[in-house]
Structure 1
Amino acid sequence: EGDIWPNSTAEINVICRPKKAKIYDQTFYCDIAGRETRLPLRIKCEGLGPKVILNVDQVEIGNVFVSSKQTYEIVMANTGEIPAVYTQIPSRTHLCSCFCFNPNEGILMPHGYQIIAVTFNATFLGDFLADLFISVQGTHEPVQVTFKGCVIGPTFHFNVPILNFGEVSFGFPKTISCCLINTSLVPMAIKLRIPGDGIGEISRTSFSQVTERRSINSWANIESDITLKEFTINPSFDIIKSHVGKEIQVSFCPNTTKKYELPLIVEVENVGLEVIAIPIVARCIVPTLEVVNSHIDLGRCFLKHPYQCTIKLQNTNDLPGCYGLVPQECTNQLGILYSSPEPYGIIDPCSTVEIPLIVQAQYIGEINTEVSIALFGKSQLPLIVHISCIGEGPVVHLSSTKIDWGKIQVLTDVPKTICLSNESLIPARVTAKMVSRLDLFKRKYVQER
C-alpha cells in the first residue's frame, strides 16, 4: 500500500514462489480510496520442479547366468536450478526386487551429477523387462530406467555318461568317482541328490554286522526297512568355480536285492533348478555259498565234554559274502549243544573259510542236530550242516574184579584194597555198595579221583 501523487507512477514488485510444480492462475485487486471499483490484476505462472535426467533410458544387459550378481552404472544429472531430493521407489514385484540401487536416495545439487550403481541378482530364468523408477521431490512424474535381458541357466557336464556299479554284494559298499565340470562363466553353488533313495539311517554294512555281532534275527527284516539310505554323495554341496571340475564320489551300500536305476541330479542351490542328471545303474545280489562238509560225524563223545570241529564254507562267486551262525534255542530237549568263538565272518570271492565249532553231547546214545548258517541279505533257506555223535559216559576200570581173603581168623579185620581208574576225559562219580546183606564186610574209605 502507499500513495501515488498526481501525474506520477508507482512500481509494485510481485514475487512468485511456487511450492509445487504446477500452473498458477490468480487475480489480485487494488483498492483505490475514493473509487468504487477495484483495479484487477491477473497473475499467471508455472511452477517448475527439479529437472533430473538419466544418461540412458534403457539398459541392454544381454545374457546373465542364474544366481550371479551383475552391477551396472547409470548417471543422473540435475539440469535445473534447484536441488533435487531423490529416492528409489521400492518395487512390489519379484522381478524388480532383484535390482538394488546404490545410493538409493540423496540430494543432487543444481547442475550436479550422481553415479548410481545398479546391482542385479538373477534368481529366475528367462527373458525379462524391468521398469525401475526414481522419485524426485517436487515433480509429478518419476524418472524411469528400463533394464532388458535374459537370465540363462548354468552349464555343467560329467566326464562319464553313466555311473555303473555293476553287481554289488548285499551289504558291501562300493564307491565310484566322477568329475563334474562347471562350464559357466561364473561360480555356481550346486547341490547333488538322488531321488528315490531312502531318507532314514544309513544302510547296514556286512563289516558292521561282523564287528558288532548283531542278532541274526535282525537280518530277517532288513529288506523291509525302505527308509534306509543306500547312497552317499561326497560332497553333496559345493561351490564350483568357473571352468573348474570337481571330483564327486558316490558310495553305494545296498540292503535290497534288486536292480537299481536312479538318476544323480545336480541342481543350483537356492534356485531349485535341475541343470543336469546322470543315470545310476546297479544290481544287488547275495552270493551263493556252499558247505563243503555238510555232515560231520564226531563218533563217540563223552557227555558234556567240549569237542572242536570246523565247518567249511566255499564261495565260488566273484563277490564277497557275509555269514552268521544261527544260535540254538535254549530248551532241555537238545541232545547236542554247539557254539562258536567266531560265529560271524566275511568270505572273500573264490575262497574257502573254516568256522570253528564247539560241540557237547548231552545224552547217552546216538544223537544228532542241525546247525543253521544264515547269509546276510537272505532271510530264507539257510545253509544246513548235520552233526551226529554217540554220547557215552565215563569209562572206569578196576584193578581187580575179584578179592580173595583165603583163610583168616574170625573176629579179625583184614583189609584189602582195590584201585579204580578213570580212563575218560570227564569226571566219574563213584559210589561203593555192598551186594550181600551179611554184615561181614564194611567200607572203610572210598576215594574219588
Structure 2
Amino acid sequence: MDFHFAFLLLQVNLINQGALDAPFSCIPSATKVGLGFKLAPQEGIIAARGSQTLQISFSATMLGRFEEEFRFSVAGSPTPAILTIRGSVTGPSLHFDLPELDFGDISFGFPYTQRCRLTNSSPVPVTFQLRISFDGTQPAVDSVDQIRCHSDPAWRKGVHLYVEPREFTITPSQGTILPQGHQDIQVTLCSNSVMEFYRKMLVDLEGFGKGVASLVITARCLVPKLQVSPHVLQYDECLLKVPYEKKFIIRNPSHLPGCYGLIEQVWHPIHLPLSNIIEELIRGKKGLDVTLLVSIQS
C-alpha cells in the first residue's frame, strides 16, 4: 500500500474460527514505524465463530517502504495471530508554476514585485512556511522613505547597515493548502546591494521537513547614473537680500528609476581678524588671497 505523509485509518477483522470464546490482546510494537500505528481495541473477547473489527490508525514519521508485524496473543493458543502491514510512505507533492522567478535589472532601493503559484497535488492538506535563502534581518532602505526624510544621514554617507538587510518580502509567507489546491505567492525585492542575485525561495512543511521544494530567484541590482545640466550655476553679482532663481535639469538616461536628493554644502570659513589682514597688506606681503565675509543685519 502507498501512503502519503499523513494520517491514515484502516479496518481489519480478527476472526475466531474455534468453538470457544477467545480472549485476545495486542502485543505492542517497539519499532519506529510501529510506534506510528494505533490499534483499537487492543484487547477483548471474540465469541466462538465470531469476529472483532479493529480500527488501525497510522501517522507516518519517516519516508520509504516498510513492513510491520502486529502480534495478537490468544488465551490457550501456543502461537499468536499475526497481522502484517506493508506499504510505502511518500512525501507530499508540491510544485511552483514557474521554473524561475526572474526580476531582471532592478534599481537600488526601489521595490519590485513578481508573482508565482504554489500547488499542492497531494491528497492531503499541507501547512507551509516560505523563506528566502541567505536573506538578512534588518529592514531594507526604501527610496520613497528616504526621500521623505531630508535629514537621513544616508544622503551624505550612503546606506550603512550593521547587519545584512532583509531585501525580500513574501506575501503570504505561511498558510495551509488544501488537497489539489494552490496558493498565489507575491514576492517583493527591495535591494540594498549592488550585485547579481541568485537566491532560492524555500518551502518548509509543518511536521515534515525544511526545504522540501524551492524556486530560484534571480535579479541584477544597478544604480542609474543621473546627469546634471549645467554643471555650474553662475549668479554673477547679487544684491543683498534679493532672491535670485536659477534652474538646472537632472536627467536619467537609463531604463531604471533613480532616486536623488539636493544636499546643502556646509562651508565653514576661517574668520581672520581684520587687523591682521590690514597688517599683512601694509607690510606688502605678496600672494595673499583674502576673502572677507560680510553679514549685515538689518
Whether these two folds match at TM > 0.5 is yes
What does residue 198 of structure 2 align with?
261
State whether structure 2 residue 125 is matched by structure 1 residue 183. Answer: no
Q: Report the Cα distance in structure 2 between the residues aligned to 1:299 and 1:392, rounded to whole angstroms.
A: 17
Show the 5 A alignment for 1:333-352.
Answer: 333=270
What does residue 233 of structure 1 align with?
170
CA gap of 1:312–1:87, structure 2 versus 1, over 3 A, is same
What's the RMSD between the two structures over aligned residues? 3.2
**Identity, % of aligned pairs?**
31
State whether structure 2 residue 21 is matched by structure 1 residue 95. Answer: no
What does residue 279 of structure 2 align with?
none
Q: Report the Cα distance in structure 1 between the residues aligned to 2:79 and 2:246, rounded to whole angstroms.
A: 100
Q: CA deviation at 1:120?
A: 1.3
Structure 1 residue ranges without an equivalent (≥5): 1-61, 335-365, 368-389, 395-425, 428-449
What does residue 223 of structure 2 align with?
286
Q: Is the 8 A contact 1:302 1:393 kept in 2?
A: no
Q: Is the 8 A contact 1:133 1:142 kept in 2?
A: yes
Q: Is the 8 A contact 1:165 1:282 kept in 2?
A: yes
Moved over 6 A (4+): 137-140, 390-394
Q: CA deviation at 1:272?
A: 1.1
Q: Is the 8 A contact 2:154 2:160 kept in 1?
A: no
| SS of residue in 2 equivalent to 1:284 | strand
Show the 5 A alignment for 1:327-366.
Answer: 327-329=264-266, 331-333=268-270
What does residue 154 of structure 1 align with?
92
Equivalent position to 2:143, from 159, 184, 206 = 206
| SS of residue in 2 equivalent to 1:323 | coil
**Segment of structure 1 superposing worse, 222-231 or 201-210:** 222-231
Q: Report the Cα distance in structure 2 between the residues aligned to 1:328 and 1:219, rounded to whole angstroms.
A: 10
What does residue 442 of structure 1 align with?
none
What does residue 25 of structure 2 align with?
86
Q: Report the Cα distance in structure 2 between the residues aligned to 1:312 and 1:92, rounded to whole angstroms.
A: 80
Q: CA deviation at 1:70?
A: 1.4
State whether structure 2 residue 71 is matched by structure 1 residue 71. Answer: no
CA gap of 1:138–1:305, structure 2 versus 1, over 3 A, is farther
Q: Report the Cα distance in structure 2 between the residues aligned to 1:189 and 1:393, rounded to whole angstroms.
A: 71
1:402-444 per-position Cα deviation (integer Å, ceiling 9, x unaligned): xxxxxxxxxxxxxxxxxxxxxxxx73xxxxxxxxxxxxxxxxx
Q: Report the Cα distance in structure 2 between the residues aligned to 1:133 and 1:330, rounded to whole angstroms.
A: 92
**Segment of structure 1 superposing worse, 276-285 or 301-310:** 301-310
Q: Report the Cα distance in structure 1 between the residues aligned to 2:261 and 2:231, rounded to whole angstroms.
A: 16
- AA partner of residue 23 (structure 2): A
Show the 5 A alignment for 1:304-319.
Answer: 307-319=244-256
- AA partner of residue 296 (structure 1): L
CA gap of 1:270–1:114, structure 2 versus 1, over 3 A, is same
CA gap of 1:172–1:110, structure 2 versus 1, over 3 A, is same
Instruction: State the TM-score, normalized to the length of structure 1.
Output: 0.55
Q: Is the 8 A contact 2:70 2:84 kept in 1?
A: yes
Q: Is the 8 A contact 1:301 1:391 kept in 2?
A: no
**Segment of structure 1 superposing worse, 177-186 or 210-219:** 210-219
State whether structure 2 residue 58 is matched by structure 1 residue 120. Answer: yes
Q: Report the Cα distance in structure 2 between the residues aligned to 1:136 and 1:307, rounded to whole angstroms.
A: 107
Higher alpha-carbon Rg? 1
Q: CA deviation at 1:260?
A: 0.5
State whether structure 2 residue 132 is matched by structure 1 residue 194. Answer: yes
Q: Is the 8 A contact 2:138 2:163 kept in 1?
A: no
1:133-159 per-position Cα deviation (integer Å, ceiling 9, x unaligned): 445577666543221111122223322
Equivalent position to 2:187, from 250, 255, 278 = 250
| SS of residue in 1 equivalent to 2:192 | coil
| SS of residue in 1 equivalent to 2:237 | strand
What does residue 7 of structure 1 align with?
none
Q: Report the Cα distance in structure 2 between the residues aligned to 1:304 and 1:115, rounded to whole angstroms.
A: 102
Higher relative contact order (CA 8 A, sep 6+): 2
Q: CA deviation at 1:278?
A: 2.2
What does residue 130 of structure 1 align with?
68
Q: Report the Cα distance in structure 2 between the residues aligned to 1:222 and 1:393, rounded to whole angstroms.
A: 37
Count of residues in correspondence between the two structures: 279
**Segment of structure 1 superposing worse, 269-278 or 118-127:** 269-278
Q: CA deviation at 1:179?
A: 1.6
Q: Report the Cα distance in structure 2 between the residues aligned to 1:204 and 1:142, rounded to whole angstroms.
A: 70
- AA partner of residue 147 (structure 1): I
- AA partner of residue 4 (structure 2): F
| SS of residue in 2 equivalent to 1:295 | coil
Q: Is the 8 A contact 1:302 1:392 kept in 2?
A: no
CA gap of 1:330–1:297, structure 2 versus 1, over 3 A, is closer
Q: CA deviation at 1:226?
A: 4.8
Q: CA deviation at 1:114?
A: 2.1
Q: Is the 8 A contact 1:88 1:101 kept in 2?
A: no
CA gap of 1:310–1:270, structure 2 versus 1, over 3 A, is farther
